[in-house]
Structure 1
């Protein structure tokens, strides 16, 4: 049976391995596990960061990483689901739902009335997962997609 709990800085090595697995599964450039572990340890010591870890008989099976930031349009922070991952052989068993549900409860308890999630448009399975859980791509009454632009803080263009 999968147990899902809020992660602590002590879980940084496990979270780093899961994130590395996630990124390599989808051929995304990633840092080494040791670098990611150091970042998780640092981030999980910060107030606006939350991680959730799924464990099945001592084996890590999934995780979520969330950040919270102040928002002007309502009281409380807005939460951003940065990552959610379930080990491939264990997908479609409800683990992702458990991780997402606990993530939502934690950020709601921290005062966040709204959660944002970025999903690649071509990732139909992931989009269906979030839509099943009440997330929508656009706000009601709008007829356009919101685009997310990424750029360096230096002002230099990001290499293509």
Structure 2
């Protein structure tokens, strides 16, 4: 099984919509299809604030990873946030997410990213182990806080 990454394009929207809907259902994220489409299309069309990579074969992706970009004075420049990462349930446990989370940050660092962040459910021990194994560390003094606008 290959974790080869391919930058998603507008023609991948329908395929991606199914994957994202599956992830959202699994994670309990409430979002109607129109909201989901409106959030994905700019990323597929090349908005500079983020991108989506499909994982595995183009015709039948194994999953996806969505990155968004920002700027951090603390980290000394452009940083990124893993907004979502999803691997189809039937193929989990084969090292695909591990490969993505080890290789993609190296490529991003080569492109000038200074840090990569992510958020994980406090009760999802499997995901926490994956993220720790791939070099992500909790920031004990900080917690992510959000305000919906």
Q: TM-score, normalized by length of structure 1?
A: 0.80
Aligned to 1:141: none
Structure ID, larger Rg:
1
Select 1:150's aligned residue among 134, 146, 149: 146
> Cα–Cα, structure 1 residues 147 and 125, in superposed 2: closer, same or farther, change >3 Å?
same
Spell out the pairing of 1:113-124 with structure 2 (5 A cutoff).
113-124=114-125
1:4-43 equivalences in 2 (<5 Å): 4-32=5-33, 34-43=34-43
CA distance in structure 2 between the partners assigned to 1:55 and 1:73 by the alignment: 34
Q: 1:51: how far off?
A: 1.3
User: Looking at both structures, which has the greater relative contact order when contacts are Cα pairs under 8 Å and sequence separation is at least 6?
Assistant: 2
Q: Quick one: structure 1 residues 129 and 74, their matched pair in 2 at CA, closer, same or farther if it must change by over 3 Å?
A: closer
Structure 1 unpaired stretches of 5+: 139-143, 154-160
Q: Which runs of 5+ in 2 are unaligned?
A: none
